[in-house]
Structure 1
Amino acid sequence: MKQTILGAGGSIGIELAKALKEYTSDIRLVNRNPVKVSSTDSLFPADLTIKNNVFEAIKGSQVTYVTIGFPYNTKVWKEYWVPFIKNVIEACLKYDSRLVFFDNVYAIGGDNVNHITENSPISPTSRKGEIRAEVDRLILENIDKNNLQAIIARAPDFFGGTSRENSVIINLVYNNLIKNKKAQWLCNAKVIHSMGYVPDLTKGTALLGNTPQAFNQIWNLPTDPQKITGEEWINLFATELKKVSEYTVVPNWLIKGIGLFVPVMKEIAEMNYQYDRDYYFDSTKFKNYFKFTPTSNAIAVKQTIKQIKYTEISDGKRTKNR
């Protein structure tokens, strides 16, 4: 059964390709410059902002996963996200492909992030959130009106796997502690902030895509239910790295300044509502239905640090041998 990943070159796409091997050996990887994750993968180089490319990429696919990550820029998102998802929906309907959309929770805003479930209302309070809300509504409307077979699979902020450059916690906590600097946190380190572990999120996405009964629903992907604060995240990383657990809190007005040095932070200022109050992601529905036990936060941190170090050693060896 052919399964296609649109946006296969990012951290989620790469880990999803690994997870899908449990279900099929017929995996099509689509992005501008796809690279095989497994030897049996087929590669489909394409600019997915072009409608015809989207159709050709989806043609023949029983399941299509959207893990694409357009550059983290409101102007870019406004230009590309809605036309892209319209093309995906149209192609999935034409070729009878089931759609699994790997989503974030930007469409949920304000105090609704205090406890995020599948029933949390679409309530964006940011420009990026408004764009993602429109994307979600298009999928849900086509499920209701056009018999689109689709899943919205939501994830909180995440880390782990190959996710590093665009991970807030890696940039602000790990990268500082490893340099013997104080870790940083945004807005308030004393409030709850859920984080997803990429290998769990992608295993969950693959499981959903290969469970016909799971379609036409919203699912929160598997995440440790521990209600953990920013300060406690910092303690986990510091303990594992054997560093002093010290940190500074960055107020929202300084976030744009940090963006001069950490690109992912440039446009995160409008997302401060995710850091100045409790942000708890509840995946009870997934865990109960699939009897899935997420990796604990402590073990996820340990494994993430191990993966980073392994990658650095491997990259160093490759550079030395060139």
Structure 2
Amino acid sequence: MQTILGSGGDISRYLAKELKQYTDQIRLVSRHPEIVNADDELMALDLSIRENVLKAIEGSDVVYLTVGFRYDLKVWQSQWNTLVTHVIEGCLQYNAKLVFFDNVYMYDKDAIPYMTEESQINPPSEKGKVRAQNVALINDAILHKNLKAVIARCADFYGPDAKNGILNLLVLDNVATGKKAMWQGSADKVHSFTYSPDAAKATALLGNTDSAYGQVWHLPTSAERLTGRQFIKMAAEMAHVKNSYLLLSTFILSLIGIFNKTMKELVEMQYQNKQDYFFDSTKFCETFSFTPTSYEKGMRASLNLNVEKS
């Protein structure tokens, strides 16, 4: 049995499909789980409750933690570490392996222009401190409690039907509907994005590769170095719309944040968008002979266009 905690999200839907290569027993757990594969086992549980977490993990060989909490610092501070603690407890109790789907918030500000698995953990944001605590809990359990776990780390992601992919929200969804694209920080800085189907395929592979455990892995991400301006131009040309955009500066985000909680929460993360943001996945790509999807191909698929040209 392989179990996804936090099913139904942008990554977990693809992950459920990819896991069919490795097992016929897939359990999807969330408050309102939905079938992905015809024979999925659904568990409708509130994972904020310890007993529910343990119930979800019981009988599992591999557990994928892909939960996405509401983008709210108070929610993160009150729920993330508690959930990770309960998941570790469940995995140890039922002898399950853990695959933690992670982001880059815990990296030092100066690591953002070129991130590798060895980059310094020194988060400059409050949300990053929460994520660093998650990783510390897992590492401690690996070292002192014999937890078998792997950390699958992802850059900002995008992809077909990605409801929370930042490239989708700011650029692709807008140009697809004839609206003006948006960008954060500086449109002249490089920014890496992980293609969600690639992330899911790689996460499933890591979960089913014994030698991958006990390590951090950057999920496969195109090594192309495109700036915001280049992403917008490419998307506009694909969608045959005017190449224009609105720049969401920190000041504008702060103003909008007076009325919009999510925009307010984005302000502390703008250090990532005011400098180059490059995510190196060489370790994974070389180890598993994996070629990440190009931005042209990934954006065409996300815009539901013919991908043959790319």
TM-score range, shorter chain: over 0.9
Q: Deviations over 1:37-66 (max 9, x none)?
A: 011100111000000000010011000000
> Which residue of 197, 216, 236 maps to 1:218?
216
> Match of 1:279, SS?
coil
1:109 and 1:126 in contact (8 A); partners too? no
Report how many aligned residue pairs link the two structures. Answer: 305
In structure 2, distance between residues paired with 1:260 and 1:42: 42
Q: 2:308 maps to what in 1?
A: none
Q: 2:291 maps to what in 1?
A: 293
- Return 25-34 or 249-258, whichever deviates more: 249-258
2:108 and 2:119 in contact (8 A); partners too? no
Q: Normalization by structure 1: what TM-score?
A: 0.91
In 2 relative to 1, CA 160–258 (structure 1 residues): closer, same or farther, beyond 3 Å?
farther
Q: 1:269 maps to what in 2?
A: 267
Q: CA RMSD in A?
A: 1.5
Question: What is the CA distance between 1:239 and its match in structure 2?
Answer: 1.4
In the TM superposition, what are the counterparts of 1:295-310 in structure 2 within 5 Å?
295-306=293-304
- Return 66-75 or 169-178, whichever deviates more: 169-178
Q: 1:126 maps to what in 2?
A: 125
In the TM superposition, what are the counterparts of 1:42-81 in structure 2 within 5 Å?
42-81=41-80
Consecutive unaligned residues of structure 1, counting only runs of 5 or more, are: 308-322
In structure 2, distance between residues paired with 1:61 and 1:161: 29
Q: Which letter does structure 1 place at the counterpart of 2:225?
A: K
Q: Which letter does structure 2 place at the counterpart of 1:8?
A: S
Question: What is the CA distance between 1:233 and its match in structure 2?
Answer: 1.0
In structure 2, distance between residues paired with 1:19 and 1:110: 34
Question: What is the CA distance between 1:87 and its match in structure 2?
Answer: 0.4
Q: Which letter does structure 2 place at the counterpart of 1:109?
A: D
> Which residue of 241, 246, 249 maps to 1:248?
246
- Return 262-271 or 117-126, whichever deviates more: 262-271
- Return 26-35 or 233-242, whichever deviates more: 233-242
In structure 2, distance between residues paired with 1:262 and 1:200: 32
Q: 2:23 maps to what in 1?
A: 24
Q: Deviations over 1:137-189 (max 9, x none)?
A: 1111111111110011000101113312x222222212332343432111101
Question: What is the CA distance between 1:240 and its match in structure 2?
Answer: 1.0
Q: Share of identical aligned residues, percent?
A: 45
2:158 and 2:196 in contact (8 A); partners too? yes
Q: Normalization by structure 2: what TM-score?
A: 0.95
Consecutive unaligned residues of structure 2, counting only runs of 5 or more, are: 306-310
Q: 1:279 maps to what in 2?
A: 277
> Which residue of 179, 187, 190 maps to 1:189?
187
2:148 and 2:214 in contact (8 A); partners too? yes
Question: What is the CA distance between 1:262 and its match in structure 2?
Answer: 6.9
1:109 and 1:273 in contact (8 A); partners too? no
1:115 and 1:279 in contact (8 A); partners too? yes
Question: What is the CA distance between 1:11 and its match in structure 2?
Answer: 1.2
In 2 relative to 1, CA 27–179 (structure 1 residues): closer, same or farther, beyond 3 Å?
closer
Q: Which letter does structure 2 place at the counterpart of 1:121?
A: Q
Q: 1:209 maps to what in 2?
A: 207
